[in-house]
Chain A
């Protein structure tokens, strides 16, 4: 009897633990960082966006190395919040070195707790990064895109606007017919 109870308890605990892990599972956003041409330390800075209800405090956000997931010191400033109070976007700064060219990841979620923070002790150049499609901060990057050719197709205007004619005709006939029915009654 006691053995059965133990098996039942273990099974329930396992499912409960799985459910909790599923609900509070951490999410990751890989950092897309273009290393500068100079060799040495620099600050990587970027604006990161979070889904609604995913992060409630900046303490639930860490920057880690992709290979080892070990945390590296970071400075996080909240920029905007969702209507429910969870974080919508935050600016993240961390120190990197152009010689090592490591890959970083932003990890966030209820089960993540930041332990290492720093306060930009040195004056170093800053390079912007982005995560999963989030735009880079425009004031800090220079892009030479060369010549751009843009072809504007103007034909869809006429192609779609002609539908106004049958729409108006149909509405007109429907209205006329409904008035005719009203008169008959």
Chain B
């Protein structure tokens, strides 16, 4: 039996990040708040400005227990937006504020001055530039939950379903559609004449995201499963159930199918090809066994098909490095960071 060293390290990292991101509010909040208050007395200007709703905004103070977006009241430990699905509805605010879609969506509605968004955007781009979609494969809590579901599927001996490229393209297009409609609605309800719609249409993606329903459960907080008081909230309640169903079924059927649909992953993928972390293949050493293709949780096969030495940074690749871990040929596949080799495939009996 092969000893999968990278996969084990990845699993440990996933568990650590899951605990840190979701339970960060419980673990670090008291200490950080003390430090923050000291710093704020000495220097009122923070490097990452805290983004708040404008005074009088409908989206600022209307949420209460029973509303779909209710558990968003707690403040996180850090007011940052890392390139992963960091949910705003983590118990006790969580470690970080939210995901990048939340940042853009919320501030489009609030019409926040771009200068206050720039530090957050630059941090997001820097992290994506360094590690690409490794954030999806190693850090994302929803991805980790999905990997757990995949593990359950394996234990139940349910065969993995391979989806066609067409299916992947449909999901990818849906992801663009989801992101575009989210930003359009968020911008639209920010227009002064249409602010009255903010009470129902604020943060439209959050209202249907499975993370909104799953993350509060980790703190034994019941999310708002349904709100049938109006037509819009009924629609969002049903869409949230549907997306949760798709999320669970997607991981049960095929590995990481949801990651094709995720708009946060989509924004990460824009930087994946130019990211510092690269996968490299030495074609001469490949015996076309197909292990890398079989192991890929995103169902990618281009690495397997490549017939010449190549740096392989596909926009869908989540840099889980399972292919390198499972490749039976010495130095055939390797992971480089700005050209410098970090780890390579190794022959094992």
In the complex, what residue of chain B is closest to A159 when comparing beta carbons? B45
Check B122 against A181 for contact (C-beta < 8 Å).
no
Decide: A178 near B121, CB < 8 A? Known: A159-B45, A184-B310.
no
Pick 29 A–B contacts, CB within 8 A, sort by A. Answer: A52-B62, A52-B200, A82-B196, A83-B196, A83-B230, A84-B229, A84-B230, A156-B45, A156-B115, A160-B49, A160-B119, A161-B115, A161-B118, A163-B118, A163-B121, A164-B118, A167-B122, A173-B274, A174-B125, A174-B129, A175-B274, A176-B274, A177-B275, A178-B274, A181-B273, A181-B274, A181-B311, A184-B310, A184-B311
Decide: A185 near B310, CB < 8 A? Known: A82-B199, A160-B49, A167-B121.
yes
Q: Digit string of B307-319 for contact with A (CB within 8 Å is 1, else 0)? A: 0001101000000
Nearest CB on A from B34, distance (A): 25
- Interface pairs A-B: 9 shortest CB-CB: A174-B274, A178-B273, A177-B274, A163-B118, A178-B274, A160-B115, A84-B230, A163-B122, A167-B122
11 more contacts with CB within 8 A, not counting A161-B118, A170-B126, A178-B273, are: A51-B64, A82-B196, A156-B45, A156-B49, A160-B49, A164-B118, A170-B125, A170-B129, A173-B129, A174-B275, A177-B273
Residues of B within 8 A of A88 (CB): 196
Determine the distance from Cα of A95 to Cα of B119 in the docked complex, in whole angstroms: 54
Contact of B115 among A52, A82, A157, A171 (CB under 8 A): A157
Residues of B within 8 A of A125 (CB): none
Residues of chain A from 152 to 166 with CB closer than 8 A to chain B in the complex: 155-157, 159-161, 163-164, 166
Residues of chain A from 68 to 87 with CB closer than 8 A to chain B in the complex: 82-84
Nearest CB on B from A167, distance (A): 5
Question: Would you call B337 an interface residue if the criterion is a C-beta within 8 Å of the partner chain's C-beta atoms?
Answer: no
Residues of chain B from 34 to 53 with CB closer than 8 A to chain A in the complex: 45, 49
Question: Would you call A53 an interface residue if the criterion is a C-beta within 8 Å of the partner chain's C-beta atoms?
Answer: yes
Check B125 against A171 for contact (C-beta < 8 Å).
yes
Decide: A83 near B310, CB < 8 A? Known: A167-B121, A170-B125, A174-B274.
no
Determine the distance from Cα of A181 to Cα of B315 in the docked complex, in whole angstroms: 12
Determine the distance from Cα of A88 to Cα of B45 in the docked complex, in whole angstroms: 37
Determine the distance from Cα of A178 to Cα of B270 in the docked complex, in whole angstroms: 10
Residues of A within 8 A of B121 (CB): 163, 167
Determine the distance from Cα of A185 to Cα of B311 in the docked complex, in whole angstroms: 8
Residues of B within 8 A of A173 (CB): 129, 274
Binding site for A on B (CB under 8 A): 45, 49, 62, 64, 115-116, 118-119, 121-122, 125-126, 128-129, 196-197, 199-200, 229-232, 271, 273-275, 306, 310-311, 313
Determine the distance from Cα of A120 to Cα of B121 in the docked complex, in whole angstroms: 58
Residues of chain A from 17 to 73 with CB closer than 8 A to chain B in the complex: 51-53
Nearest CB on A from B199, distance (A): 5
Binding site for B on A (CB under 8 A): 51-53, 82-84, 88, 155-157, 159-161, 163-164, 166-167, 170-171, 173-178, 181-182, 184-185
Determine the distance from Cα of A182 to Cα of B274 in the docked complex, in whole angstroms: 10
Determine the distance from Cα of A52 to Cα of B66 in the docked complex, in whole angstroms: 12
Check A167 against B125 for contact (C-beta < 8 Å).
yes
Residues of B within 8 A of A160 (CB): 49, 115-116, 118-119
Nearest CB on A from B163, distance (A): 24
Residues of B within 8 A of A51 (CB): 62, 64
Residues of A within 8 A of B128 (CB): 174
Residues of A within 8 A of B200 (CB): 52, 83
Decide: A166 near B122, CB < 8 A? Known: A83-B197, A161-B115.
yes
Residues of A within 8 A of B49 (CB): 156, 160
Determine the distance from Cα of A170 to Cα of B271 in the docked complex, in whole angstroms: 10
Residues of A within 8 A of B271 (CB): 174
In the complex, what residue of chain B is closest to A177 when comparing beta carbons? B274
In the complex, what residue of chain B is closest to A88 when comparing beta carbons? B196
In the complex, what residue of chain A is closest to B229 when comparing beta carbons? A53
Determine the distance from Cα of A144 to Cα of B33 in the docked complex, in whole angstroms: 39
In the complex, what residue of chain A is closest to B132 when comparing beta carbons? A174
Check A163 against B119 for contact (C-beta < 8 Å).
yes
Determine the distance from Cα of A167 to Cα of B117 in the docked complex, in whole angstroms: 12
Determine the distance from Cα of A163 to Cα of B310 in the docked complex, in whole angstroms: 34
Residues of B within 8 A of A155 (CB): 45
Residues of A within 8 A of B115 (CB): 156-157, 160-161
